[in-house]
Amino acid sequence: MSWENRSSVSEFLLLGLPIQLEQQKMFFTLFLGMYLTTVLGNLLIILLIRLDSHLHTPMYFFLTHLAFTDVSFSSVTVPKMLMDMQTDHQPIPYVGCIAQMYFFIFFTDLDSFLITSMAYDHYVAICHPLHYTTVMREGLCTLLVAVSWFLSCASSLSHTFLLTRLLSPNYSSSTSGFILLGLSSNPQLQKPLFAVFFTMYLVTIVGNILIILAIHSDSRLHTPMYFFLSSLSFMDICFTTVIVPKMLINLLSETKAISYVGCLVQMYFFMAFGNTDSYLLASMAIDRLVAICNPFHYNVVMNPQRCLLMLLGSCTISHLHSVLGALLMSHQSFCASHTINHFFCDTQPVLKLSCSDTSPTQTVVMTETLAVIVTPFLCILFSYLRIVISVLRIPTAARKRKAFSTCGSHLTVVTLFYGSIIYVYFRPLSMYSVVKDRVATVMYTMVTPMLNPFIYSLRNKDMKRGLGKLRDRIYS
C-alpha cells in the first residue's frame, strides 16, 4: 500500500552455493539424495506412528508433528535450490522471496517450539513418572502443539512484515498511513455508538470465555463437537479483537488514523481469523454428519488426532490466504486520497482508493477467496444434505427431532455468518455500497461472534449443564 510506485524491481537473483560449474551435477545429486532421504524418512516415521497404536503416546505425538515440520521446512528451500543448480538464470520473484522467507521463519520457529515440548515431555517422564499420565494428558499435548503453531505464525508474520517494508519494490518514505472514517461522521452519534459497540464487545469476550471455561471444566464436554466449539469461541474473540478496539478508539478520537503497517496487519489477521472461523464451521458440520450418519464409527473417525489435524489445517489454509492477500495489497499504489470509507482495513474499501490498475489484484483475490470461502461452505451444504436424507429415514418423530436439534444451533450460526459474508464479498467492486456493506460487515464481525455463546448455550442442554457446573465451581 504505497503512495508511489517508482521502482521496476520485481525479482531477485539467488547466487546459490559457491560451487564451481563442473561440480554442479555432483552437488545436485548429493542434495537431491539428502532431500529425498529427509522427506521419505520423516513420512515413514509419521506413517509408522499412525499405524501402531502402541506409539500413540505424547512423545510420539510430538515426534509426528516434528517430522511433518521437518518435511515442510526442507521443502521451503531445497527444491528451489535444486532447480537453480540446473539453470544459468536463478531468479526468484518478489512475492516468492517474501513467501519463502515467511515459511522459512515459521517452520524454523515451529521446530524449536516442538523440540521444547518434547524436552518438557521427557522431563515429566523422568522426574515425575508417577504423575506422567496426569500431567501429559491429551488436552495439554494438543494445547502445546496449538500454541507452538500460533507463536511461530506470529513470529514469522512480524519478521516478514518488517522485512517487507524494507524490501518492498513499492516502498516510499512518504507512506504514512490511512484515515478510517468509521461507522458515522456525525459527532453526536460517536458516544452512543461507542457505548453500544463497547457493550457488544464485552458481551462477546465474556460469553465466549465462559463457553471455553465451561467446556474445559466439564469432562463430559470433552468431545469433538465441543473441541471445535471451544476453538470457534477462541477464534471469535481474536476475530473481534482485531477490529473492535481500534474502532472504539477512533469513535472517541478526532484523528481516526491507522498506520500503514497497522492497516496491513489488521487486514492480515482479519482474513486469517475470519477464514479460520469458516473452516471450523465446516469441521463442526462434518462432526455432525459423522455423529448422525455413522454413529457406530464416530469415536474412530472423529479421533483426537484427526480433530487436531482439522484445526491445524483450518489455521494453516487461512494464514496462507492472508499472506497472499496482504502481499497483493502491499503492491497497490495510492496517489492522492488515503481516507478509507469504513471502520477497519478491509479489501474492498482499500482497493477503492488505489490509483493503479486493481483488476489483476481483484481477479486473484476474488478467485482465491472463492476457493477459500466456498470450499467450506460447500462442505457444510453437502454435510447437511446427507444429514437431512439420513434423518428423514428415521422412523420415529422423537428421534427425528433429537437429530435435528443437535444441528439447529450450528445451522443458525452458519446462516448468519455466511449470509452476510456472501453479500459483502461476492460482488464486483463496482457494486460496492458503503452503507449497506457496513451493516452487513457489522453482522459477521460483531453480531455473530456475540450471538454464538447464546445460540449454543440456550439451545444446548449439555452446555447449560456445563455452565451450571462452572457457576457452582466459581461460587463454591
- How confident is the model at residue 456, as a pLDDT? 76
Q: What is the pLDDT of residues 373-386, one digit of tens each?
A: 788 888 888 888 88
142 or 204, higher pLDDT = 204
Q: Which DSSP state fits 354? A: -
Q: How far apart are CA 37 and CA 41, in angstroms?
A: 6
**415 or 118, higher pLDDT:** 118
Q: How far is CA 98 from CA 35, 102, 160, 165, 324, in A?
A: 23, 6, 7, 11, 10
Binned at pLDDT 50, 70 and 90, residue 40 comes out as very high
Question: pLDDT digit string (tens) for 247-289?
Answer: 888 888 877 888 877 888 888 888 889 889 989 989 988 998 8
Mean pLDDT of 241-245: 91
Looking at the predicted structure, is the pLDDT value of residue 372 above 50? yes
Residues 6+ apart with CB under 8 A from 77: 100, 104
Question: CA dist 258 to 187, 248, 320, 474, Å?
Answer: 19, 13, 24, 40
pLDDT for residue 240? 93
Q: What is the pLDDT of residues 445-467, one digit of tens each?
A: 888 888 888 887 766 677 777 77
| pLDDT at residue number 172 | 42
Please list, in sequence order, all residues whose beta carbon lies within 8 angstroms of the beta carbon of residue 337, skipping any fewer than 6 positions away. Answer: 353
Find the mean pLDDT for residues 333-354.
78
Question: Mean per-residue pLDDT for 297-306?
Answer: 86
3-state secondary structure of 281: helix
172-186, 224-238, 246-260: segment of lowest average pLDDT: 172-186
Instruction: Domain 177-475: give its CATH architecture.
Output: Up-down Bundle (1.20)
CATH pick for 11-167 out of 1.10.10.10, 1.20.1300.10, 1.20.1070.10, 3.50.50.60: 1.20.1070.10
pLDDT of residue 203: 92
pLDDT exceeds cutoff 50 at 1: no
pLDDT of residue 37: 92
Q: Do domains 11-167 and 177-475 have the same CATH topology?
A: yes
Domain boundaries, the chain: 11-167, 177-475
pLDDT of residue 202: 94
pLDDT for 184 equals: 73
Identify the pLDDT of residue 472. 72
How buried is residue 243: exposed, middle or buried, by Cβ count under 10 Å (0-12/13-18/19+)? buried
Query: For residue 287, which of 232, 218, 234, 209 has the smallest C-alpha distance?
Result: 232
Instruction: Return all residues near 212 (Cβ < 8 A) that are at least 6 apart.
Output: 230, 233, 234
Averaged pLDDT, 395-421: 73
- Stretch 348-358: mean pLDDT: 76
Q: What percent of the chain has pLDDT over 90?
A: 11
Q: How confident is the model at residue 399 (pLDDT cuts 50, 70, 90)?
A: low
Contact 171, 233 (CB under 8 A): no
Confidence of residue 405 (pLDDT cuts 50, 70, 90): low
Q: What is the mean pLDDT of residues 75-94?
A: 78
Q: Specify whether the CB–CB gap between 470 and 462 falls below 8 A.
A: no
Task: Return all residues near 24 (Cβ < 8 A) that are at least 6 apart.
Answer: 85, 86
Whether 361 shows a pLDDT value over 80: the answer reads no
Whole-structure pTM value: 0.68
CA angle 370, 373, 379 (to 5 degrees): 115
3-class DSSP assignment, residue 136: coil
Q: Quick one: cell of 63?
A: 515426534
* Joined grid coordinates for residue 16: 546459490
Of 45-49, 131-135, 166-170, 279-283, which gets the smallest average pLDDT?
A: 166-170
What integer pLDDT is reported at residue 433 of this predicted model? 63
- Whether 42 has a pLDDT exceeding 70, the answer reads yes
Helix/strand/coil percent split, the chain, to 5: 80, 5, 20
Query: How many Å is the Cα radius of gyration of the chain?
Result: 25
The end-to-end CA distance of the chain, in Å, is 54
- Joined grid coordinates for residue 345: 482495513
The listed range with the strongest mean pLDDT (9-23, 90-104, 171-185, 274-288) is 274-288
- Where helices occur in 221-259 by DSSP H, the ranges are 224-251
Contact 312, 106 (CB under 8 A): no
Region 171-180 average pLDDT:
60
**Per-residue model confidence (pLDDT) at position 458:** 65
* pLDDT at res. 4: 43
